[in-house]
Amino acid sequence: MSYKVSVVIEKDEYGYYAYCPELQGCQSQGDTLEETLANIKEAAEAYIETLSPRDN
C-alpha cells in the first residue's frame, strides 16, 4: 500500500530538520538535504507501520 504525506523541511545553522504534519511526532534531521529526505522517509514508513488498520 502506498501513502502520500506532506513533509516540511527547514534549514538552520546545524543542518536540516524535517517533519510530517499529518503524522504527530514524526520528525527527523540530517546534515544534507538528501540525508534528511532519506531519514524522514524512513521515519514516516516506520510510523505508518505502527498504525492499526482503523487508524489509516
Has domain 8-51 been given CATH number 3.40.640.10? no
The DSSP letter of residue 15 is: E
**How much is the pLDDT for 56?**
54
10 in Cβ contact with 17 (< 8 Å): yes
What pLDDT score was predicted for residue 55?
55
pLDDT at 1: 67
Global pTM reads: 0.85
Helix/strand/coil for 36: helix
Give the model confidence (pLDDT) of 14-49 as tens digits: 999 999 999 999 999 999 999 999 999 999 999 999
Cell of 47: 510510523
